[in-house]
Structure 1
């Protein structure tokens, strides 16, 4: 195999590496800026020259054989060496660049992440952010998103990431629109979340403890729920990073430990070393660490009568 590999040119290694990463010929051809037929023909020539197959053709795509894994690993090492030499000759490594797709919830985005992302863009203008808000779990394996910022106690096992904080929830209202704290459960008008967010612990609590006729409104977003409390529509449990930063709200009870959830930065294992994604994850991790006291509700509770 050593003698055979010596006959390969760098363009052959690039082609093998591209097919190994894309696992299909059209995507590999696109990454190399050549025709699909060119990749197919050249791959057959390389395998014929080496005398053994590099890939097995499955319905799911092109899968490396054991010999193919060795050649692809060599191609990756050669590519890294060439890139390192090129950067040294240029005098500095290029700044991370490209698009990062972010999936998160509206409340996390608007009430916590937005200033962090603004500072990140100032520091890294070559990285473009494509942000999707919602509560549906996007498929990072299919590249629906590159980075997920989620509140969950059970992140998918197929993803890797960092647990950044424990999101605290507490009860909030406005001074003008709520009864005395002792009468909340008995007399207060409550706001809740629709069934689409029924998995949240605060929503489950209201279903168990508050009669339906006492729930004035339901919302399909935590951000809208916070706005409704601030407008005086009623009481609601909210994340402390939202409730404690709204001047029109006041916390009416200590955080409920049973309502808390972990805040995660998650990505696909294949993407975690991508420079633009690693740069964004590191920046957000540092920002969120500084905000941890707010996220975890660590402030004195001021009760007003």
Structure 2
């Protein structure tokens, strides 16, 4: 047998051999393939010549596979059996992708947006474990600090690949009595610290709010939101946080200059991993459904509800 020719063997070749063996001849195989017997004869002859061996003994009663022919028939049977089993499992949604996905994100995104999404993912895919890494600084996915990053940014690293899910809008929030104080300039303000000075919202506060009115600084958005909710002062918050807090009212329209894109990112080497693709597709679909909340177009109903899925668009 020509061993190099085995590398060029295709499924069509193996299937042809099996059909000829099952039909014990060319006519039956040709009927199953929907071609003329002469076509089967030419293909079988070409295959035997290519392999350098005889696959069938020609008898008056029909075609009988040689030992090598029988091996090819067994190979075809095993392959088809595997394909059928795969189809049955797929139809029954019984394909289990397992393993761990390490996800890096910010505390505010996790607490106010992502945790319910992650819970629904694990309910649908219990074989996948999530390892969530919290941090407000970008991680280096090329060093495998995480498999997936969910970040608010307008400039994702060139070393990562992924998709932009939507826009995170920011607006001014405070407890209801503070709206008049904002108007007359007497309100106290809560701002982000200098560690986050690259954000437009931080630069704006430094330029527009008098120092004596900046009474409280925090180095995370989650801490900022807690301070505003506690009534320490007014502050700009992402709408997905402020609009879900019943203690706060929105005191301004979303400020376009403060908005940022929400990105779902991974390393190029990981993008074809089944569990990474499964996780990213699921999260992208869930977050797309929550875009009105992220983009400041959704408000919580007056009645008590359990999560972001209960938010509706405001009525005109």
Is TM-score (shorter-chain normalized) higher than 0.5?
A: yes
The answer to whether residue 164 in structure 2 is matched with residue 163 in structure 1 is yes
User: How do residues 121-132 of structure 1 correspond to structure 2 at under 5 angstroms?
Assistant: 121-132=122-133
Q: How many residues align?
A: 225
Q: Does the CA-based 8 Å contact 1:170-1:254 persist in structure 2?
A: yes
The answer to whether residue 101 in structure 2 is matched with residue 92 in structure 1 is no
TM-score for both structures, normalised by structure 2:
0.66
Unaligned segments of structure 1, at least 5 residues: 8-81
> Partners of 1:284 and 1:155 in 2: how far apart?
18
Aligned equivalent of 1:217: 216
**Per-residue deviation, residues 188-220 of structure 1 (Å, max 9, x unmatched):** 100111122222221111011112221111111
SS of 1:179 mapped into structure 2: helix
Once the 2 structures are TM-superposed, how far is the Cα of residue 84 of structure 1 from its aligned partner?
10
> Partners of 1:140 and 1:96 in 2: how far apart?
22
Once the 2 structures are TM-superposed, how far is the Cα of residue 92 of structure 1 from its aligned partner?
2.5
Q: 1:189 to 1:269 in 2, by over 3 A?
A: same
Q: 1:205 to 1:87 in 2, by over 3 A?
A: farther
User: How do residues 1-305 of structure 1 correspond to structure 2 at under 5 angstroms?
Assistant: 86=82, 88-89=84-85, 91-92=88-89, 94-177=95-178, 179-183=180-184, 186-299=185-298
What's the RMSD between the two structures over aligned residues?
Answer: 2.5
Q: Does the CA-based 8 Å contact 1:176-1:232 persist in structure 2?
A: no
Q: Does the CA-based 8 Å contact 2:160-2:266 persist in structure 1?
A: yes
Q: 1:180 to 1:5 in 2, by over 3 A?
A: farther
Q: Does the CA-based 8 Å contact 1:178-1:234 persist in structure 2?
A: no
Q: Does the CA-based 8 Å contact 1:120-1:283 persist in structure 2?
A: yes
Once the 2 structures are TM-superposed, how far is the Cα of residue 176 of structure 1 from its aligned partner?
3.5
Runs of 4 or more consecutive aligned structure 1 residues displaced over 3 Å after TM superposition: 2-7, 82-91, 176-181, 299-302
Q: Which has the larger radius of gyration?
A: 2
Q: 1:3 to 1:170 in 2, by over 3 A?
A: same
Once the 2 structures are TM-superposed, how far is the Cα of residue 281 of structure 1 from its aligned partner?
0.6
> Partners of 1:144 and 1:87 in 2: how far apart?
37
Which 10-residue stretch deviates more, 232-241 or 197-206?
A: 197-206
**Per-residue deviation, residues 112-161 of structure 1 (Å, max 9, x unmatched):** 00111111111111100000111111111111000000000000011110
> Partners of 1:180 and 1:196 in 2: how far apart?
28
Q: Does the CA-based 8 Å contact 1:177-1:233 persist in structure 2?
A: no
